[in-house]
């Protein structure tokens, strides 16, 4: 009898274990829980947001490592540009610096007369960057030597972009003197100027035929690339403190009074709008299936880009001025409380976070599968896949 009972107990235990493991194995993991190790996408991030709508090609690891941390002055309100093995960034200590992208070691620096918040634009062998001293500088990419500079009548806080006017290459940049400038990158000579009458804060967006931007005149402007002639002006009722996003045929822009608009880029026709309780300084990150929006109301939203319908939303631990990124199945966003968050793109669940110890205001930057995070205390952090020379970071406690 004892033998029979022992056999029955063993059979029950075996069946229970089989059911347990079978049941666990039948539960598929979410895509964000599965570590993906695709080949590194070699890319340049040659200006504000890499010229993208915050959705670069590449991957971000489930458990990233801090590859390096570099002290690069103070008050990093701007964002780095990355080309090849060089990284370029401006600082509150009035310097523009070039760093080694793999180590964070300084290669050269150039001193302006005021703070530098604009993300540099790399065009050929030139670094184009504006300063609060009212000048637009063209620096040699390899040495930091000044090639030329142009004086405006106001601070230059937004970044420049590259465009083609006819068969001529041009750079487009705005100033607090209210003018959007088109300049010859070879010598800084003005090609045309478009006067808004008030501060131009952000970076213009490049469409097929037009440029799009906003400013303190409370308007979204559509301007012809060819000659700087006005296409339209759309009043939004409040200053536009940041840079919009251009995705396919549509323009997305937020205002200081918490209004967020989707417009048909060519015509300026409003497609939909959303009203928040606080301002939008950060640009939206947009992909084919979703638009990620975060602002000073401490709310994260993932919306349908075509109609604004909410796919999911969740509160954030801090307000957001730093423009976020969508990288594959993850969303990366930094808060003014210094939290770097990685959210699951499908539902907004927090997958990983890191306390940077200082507010994140400048836009996140990304190249060669490495995420670069500028901090208000002057530190620049680089996160990526763990290697034998990097320090692994555990997820912070919720």
**CB neighbour list of residue 140: distance below 8 Å, 6 or more residues apart:** 125, 126, 127, 146, 147
**pTM for this model (two decimals):** 0.87
pLDDT at 317: 85
Name the nearest CA neighbour of 215 among 223, 225, 224: 223
Half-sphere exposure for 354 (CA within 13 Å, toward CB): 22
256 Cα distance to chain centroid: 19
Residue 323 pLDDT greater than 80, yes or no: yes
Residue 42 pLDDT greater than 70, yes or no: no
Name the nearest CA neighbour of 132 among 149, 157, 111: 157
Residue 331 pLDDT greater than 50, yes or no: yes
- β-bridge mates for residue 141, sequence order: none
pLDDT in tens, 246-286: 999 999 999 999 999 999 999 999 999 999 999 999 999 99
Query: CA-CA distances (angstroms) from residue 10 to 2, 3, 23, 32?
Result: 12, 11, 20, 38
Q: Cα–Cα distance between 58 and 66 in angstroms, integer?
A: 18
Name the nearest CA neighbour of 207 among 185, 232, 179, 236: 232
**CB neighbour list of residue 219: distance below 8 Å, 6 or more residues apart:** 196, 233, 234, 235, 236, 240
Q: Cα–Cα distance between 108 and 100 in angstroms, integer?
A: 10
Residue 16 pLDDT greater than 90, yes or no: no
pLDDT at 184: 97
pLDDT in tens, 159-212: 999 999 988 899 999 999 999 999 999 999 999 999 999 999 999 999 999 999
Residue 355 pLDDT greater than 90, yes or no: yes
Helix (H) or strand (E) holding 20: helix 2-25
Dihedral, CA atoms, 369, 105, 359, 354, nearest 10 degrees? Answer: 50
pLDDT at 393: 43
**CB neighbour list of residue 38: distance below 8 Å, 6 or more residues apart:** 59
């Amino acid at each position: 009898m004892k033998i029979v009972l022992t056999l029955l107990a063993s059979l029950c235990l075996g069946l229970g274990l089989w059911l347990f493991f079978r049941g666990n194995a039948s539960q598929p993991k979410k895509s964000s829980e599965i570590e993906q190790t695709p080949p590194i996408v070699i890319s340049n991030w040659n200006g504000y947001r890499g010229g993208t709508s915050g959705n670069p090609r590449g991957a971000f690891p489930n458990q990233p490592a801090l590859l390096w941390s570099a002290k690069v002055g103070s008050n990093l309100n701007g964002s780095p540009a990355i080309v090849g093995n060089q990284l370029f960034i401006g600082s509150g200590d009035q310097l523009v610096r070039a760093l080694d992208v793999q180590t964070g070691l300084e290669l050269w620096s150039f001193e302006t007369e005021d703070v530098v918040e604009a993300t540099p634009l790399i065009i050929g062998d030139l670094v184009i960057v504006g300063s609060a001293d009212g000048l637009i500088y063209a620096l040699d990419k390899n040495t930091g030597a000044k090639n030329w500079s142009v004086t405006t009548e106001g601070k230059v806080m937004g970044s420049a972009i590259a465009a083609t006017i006819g068969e001529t290459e041009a750079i487009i940049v705005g100033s607090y003197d209210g003018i959007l400038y088109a300049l010859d990158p070879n010598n800084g000579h003005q090609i045309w100027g478009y006067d808004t009458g008030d501060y131009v804060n952000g970076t213009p967006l490049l469409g097929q035929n037009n440029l799009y931007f906003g400013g303190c005149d409370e308007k979204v402007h559509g301007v012809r690339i060819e000659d700087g002639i006005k296409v339209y002006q759309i009043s939004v009722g409040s200053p536009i403190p940041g840079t919009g996003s251009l995705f396919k045929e549509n323009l997305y822009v937020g205002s200081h009074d918490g209004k967020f608009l989707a417009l048909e880029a060519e015509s300026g026709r409003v497609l939909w709008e959303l009203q928040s309780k606080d301002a939008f300084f950060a640009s939206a990150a947009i992909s084919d299936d979703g638009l990620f929006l975060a602002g000073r109301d401490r709310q994260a939203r993932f919306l349908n880009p075509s109609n604004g319908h909410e796919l999911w939303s969740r509160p954030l631990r801090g307000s957001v001025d730093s423009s976020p990124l969508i990288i594959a199945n993850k969303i990366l966003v930094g808060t003014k409380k210094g939290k770097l968050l990685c959210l699951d793109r499908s539902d907004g669940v927090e997958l990983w976070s890191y306390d940077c110890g200082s507010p994140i205001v400048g836009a996140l930057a990304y190249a060669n599968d490495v995420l670069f995070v500028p901090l208000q205390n002057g530190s620049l952090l680089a996160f990526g896949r763990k290697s034998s020379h990097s320090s692994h970071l555990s997820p912070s406690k919720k």
